[in-house]
Structure 1
Amino acid sequence: MRTKSLTVAGSSVLVAALGLSLAACRGSSDDGAAGGTVTISINGQPPQTQAFERKNFDADVAEFQKSHPNIRLETHEGFMDPKTFSAKLAGGQLEDVFYTYFTDPAQLIARHQAADITDYVKDVPHVSELQPQLLDVYRDDKGRLYGLPTANYTMGLLYNRDLFTKAGLNPNQPPKTWDEVREDAKKISALGNGVVGYADYSANNQGGWHLTSWLYSEGGQVARKDGATWKADFNNDKGKAALRTLHDMRWTDNTMGSKQLLQIEDVQRLMGGGQLGMYLAAPDNVPTVVNLFKGDYATYGLAPMPGGKGTLIGGEGYMINPKATPAKIKAALTWLQWKYLNPERIDAKLASYKEQAQPIGLPVPPVPDIWTGAARTQQEQVKAKYATVPLKNFQPYVDGASSLKGHLEPPNAQQVYTVLDGVMQAVLTDRDADAAKLLADAEQKVNSVLATIR
């Protein structure tokens, strides 16, 4: 599932040259010949309805162009729209630098719809300090690189520290296994007054998304590559174990509440209202619960996925038009590194965010958890310097998430999730649901979905 709050399919908007005169533009060379100006089009500009994000993006563009006078940026609103991508590329309307979700690169690479940047990134600072598993999202099976990750998320466990304390649990020691989740949920539910120990989604494809995350956490998977084709891979012991735990929490322990067929807003509302102990979530859920449902940052904690064997990862990055000239590719990488992959700018960026009363301390942009080594250490130090939320509440997630094996969403994810939604719904609404039959039926349906992948 795509959790980015700025996902907008808005029309392309050409922004003014930001300090470059028309005369200078007419006299420049788009290919950068003889030291002339290179013009590149970029998307990812937030819409005007996202005032804070738009203001910061445009300010970055202006600052970049002031310090890089030989690169001219044409900024376009919008992000990735799979429905129009191929047509834009064929018609010469695709930006030189374009935004992608982590689920996009594999197909774009296979269809030769992105430039190979392997030989260009050798001179780009800090690329070697990015997490290898994030770079791998943009590699082909020969190790060639076609894009750069700029932010990511991993699924984890969001929990209410206040309820943990009231239930006699240590909020600094969140559960590490599903058995511990189950036991903690019992103690939290025992508080009464409508408090729910653990909640999960089962509607609008979100149940399938969370079941996928659960399987990853236990070392399982939803789909596997079998030669040139894909096959469902959840009708097995791991799939049955996940459904058994879910069934027992719902019906034996009564720790999930009687209301089911929940979606993300339902669960966030419960958490914001102090009525929920735990649910699976990415870090970006925390500001949503605080801002939309009247929560408090001090109330919540984040832990890595229970199970400790894997997690679902998602995120975003940028690729370059396969028709781009070498000069445009170099200019594009200069922009991407300066804006998104630049440890030297973290201090100034966070100082600006703090001045604008933005929350700082969660592992989300402007401090995404994408680094290793010295860059990671530097970012964590600066984050602590400007933190406006209690860092210790989210440290278990930061410490644990990077050690888990990351798995992308399965191919044709939304169609797969539709099928798995039905499995989640049956287990959570029917005490006598036959898990083995549910998995067998779902396997057949998912195999049909996966058979369409070419």
Structure 2
Amino acid sequence: MKFSRTSRAALAFVGALALSGTLVACGSSDDKSADAGSTTLDPNTKVTLNVVGLLPGAKPEAQTALAQEVTDFQKENPNITVKTHDYEWKATTFAADLAGGTLPTVFEIPFTDAKTLIANQQIANMQAYLDSLSYAANFNKNLLQYGQGEDGKVYAIPAKSIYAVGLHYNRNLFTQAGLDPNKPPTTWDEVREDAKAIATKTGQAGFAQMSKDGTGGWQLTVDTYARGGRMEDGKKATVTNEQTKAALQFLKDLRWTDNAMGANFDYDWSSINQAFAAGKVGMYTSGQDVYTSLVQTNNIDPKSYGLTMIPLSGSNSGVLGGGTMAAVSSKASNNEKAAAIKWIDAHYLRKYTNADAAAKQAQVQVASKQPVGTPELPIFSQQQYEQYQGWIKSYVNVPLDQMTSFTGKVFDAKLVNEPAVATQDVYKSLDTVVQAVLTNKDANIDQLLTDANAKAQRAIDAS
């Protein structure tokens, strides 16, 4: 599979990753290079670096692959000891984890959070360290700017999961419902019809929606964009728009008229993935890159998985895009920052710029039965990404032929950034709206959105 067009828009992100355990940044007792302002790690200086690992509950095979990656890195950098920690970003806990010092030294953040963390001086200026990488000038500048401060310096680095939201569907449930899994729905009316068929014929939820910890507002924004609406206009909240109302009415009809959404209306990102992989959900929307997590954490049957474009309607319709950035604690010493850029290079980025690194990582993943080739959007250039795909072609083990109705169309769609101001607060104000529509048959959509708009506006004004 190859994407056929260049990326058209800067992407933002609401993510997918949270943390357990209290971590203390561990540097060398002799940190003279930090005092000297050096950006180079003395090879005789010992550094212990705490970094993000996998999602909690990741399968042993995924842990094995990560452990091998750490071993290889430490052989290449014998003075750096890497300690990985399970991590899942959640809007409801991240700020407290950061303030309480429970995050690793190197952690992951949504594109939407970087500017606030920079302004609050909570993440380190990594410009000088980034400049040490040979490919530093090759980043997609539209992506890189999300991690830049007002001083123009880079504080957070585009790292992974650059995505566009798609419609994920269970091919087995489609077959059981008498639907053709090779012809997924292309309109919202068809989504509704297929959801009803799945619920009626299989007893499972034909369609499910995230609804808490900011994910309800995130996916309602996805639904709004797909219909041509927007949640903000500059610093003005616009969540009362007609497209958001239409998206909520769609959910209300599926839930109360069609009885096609099952019995669970309390999903977040992790739990909806779990339900989908277990065959309890026919369709849901999320980033196109979620297949990797479905394998690593949820043991999905690859034959059951399908990915298609989210239906788009209206002249201003678009696909919400996003991604993950790597950041370093502002409390990190210079030695830790120098070690961190080496890890960010080896763990996240080098595979896109070096054929040997790409092949080596793919070999480890295949040996550990991990996904290789899950669709992504380019961190660097389209040409460089297609070159990377060529390097790993012989190792690809994901069912790309079951994703072509997404990968063949995504670059024909408009990619739209997330709401730029008070993003997480805007999403959280909409969680309660989604929850009310799914749990209260008499929910008043207009009133719910009026109340949410006021909350969102207060958050925007305070930002």
Instruction: Report the alpha carbon displacement of residue 279 of structure 1 after superposing the two structures with TM.
Output: 0.9
Matches within 5 A, 1:52-63: 56-57=65-66, 59-63=68-72
TM-score (norm 1): 0.76
Equivalent residues in 2 for 1:21-420 (5 A)? 36-37=42-43, 42-46=49-53, 56-57=65-66, 59-64=68-73, 66-67=75-76, 72-73=79-80, 75=82, 77-78=84-85, 82-83=95-96, 85=98, 95=105, 99-118=108-127, 121=130, 124-140=133-149, 144-152=153-161, 153-165=163-175, 169-189=179-199, 192-203=201-212, 205-226=214-235, 231-252=236-257, 254=258, 256-257=260-261, 259-264=263-268, 267-268=272-273, 271-283=276-288, 285-286=290-291, 295-307=300-312, 309-319=318-328, 321=330, 332-343=340-351, 344=354, 345-363=357-375, 370-401=379-410, 404-408=414-418, 415-420=425-430
Matches of 2:39 and 2:113 in 1, distance apart?
33
- Amino acid in the other structure paired with 2:148: R
Equivalences, count: 428
Question: 5+ unaligned residues in a row in structure 2: which ranges?
Answer: 1-13
Q: Separation in 2 of the partners of 1:119 and 1:175?
A: 48
| Distance of 2:231 and 2:417 partners within structure 1 | 10
Contact 1:204/1:263 (<8 A) preserved: no
Distance 1:328 1:446, change over 3 A: closer
The one-letter code matched in structure 1 to 2:370 is Q
* 2: CA distance, partners of 1:49 / 1:170: 33
Counterpart amino acid of residue 220 in structure 2: L
Q: Cα 1:358–1:258, aligned 2, differ >3 Å: closer, same or farther? A: closer
Q: Distance in 2 between matches of 1:283 and 1:225?
A: 28
Cα 1:374–1:181 change in 2 (3 A) is same
1:20 aligned partner:
none
Q: Find the aligned partners of 2:442 and 2:41 in 1 and give their Cα distance.
A: 73
- 2:217 touches 2:429 (CA, 8 Å); kept in 1? yes
Distance apart, 1:236 and its partner CA: 1.5
What is the Cα-based RMSD across aligned positions, in Å?
A: 4.2
Amino acid at match of 1:423: V
Compute the displacement of 1:75 (Å): 3.7
Cα displacement (A) at 1:351? 0.6
Q: 1:125 to 1:177 in 2, by over 3 A?
A: farther
Q: Counterpart of 1:336 in structure 2: which amino acid?
A: I
Q: Kindly provide the amino acid, as one letter, of the partner of residue 249 in structure 2.
A: R
SS in structure 1 at match of 2:19 = coil
Aligned equivalent of 2:6? none
Contact 2:108 2:324 in 1 (8 A): no
Q: Which moved more, 1:240-249 or 1:279-288?
A: 279-288
Q: CA deviation at 1:256?
A: 2.2
Shift of 1:262: 3.5
Instruction: Quote how far apart the aligned CAs of 1:84 are.
Output: 5.7
| Higher RCO (CA < 8 A, seq sep 6+) | 2
Do the aligned residues in 2 keep the contact of 1:272 with 1:289 (CA within 8 Å)?
Answer: yes
Cα distance in 2, alignment partners of residues 145 and 244 from structure 1 = 42
2:16 counterpart residue number: 3
CA 1:167–1:448: 2 relative to 1, 3 Å: same
- Provide the TM-score with structure 2 as the length reference: 0.74
- Give 1:56 shift: 4.9
Contact residue 129 and residue 338 of structure 2 kept, 8 A: yes
User: Could you tell me which residue of structure 2 aligns to residue 22 of structure 1?
Assistant: none
Closer, same or farther in 2 for the Cα pair 1:224/1:40, shift >3 Å? farther
Q: Which amino acid aligns with 1:237?
A: E
Identity %: 28
Q: Indicate conservation of the 8 Å contact 1:217/1:306, yes or no.
A: yes
Match of 2:453 among 434, 443, 451: 443
2:462 alignment partner in structure 1 = 452
Deviation sequence 1:326-360 (CA, Å, 0-9, x none): x8766654442233211321111111111122233
CA distance 1:257–1:332, shift in 2 (3 Å): closer
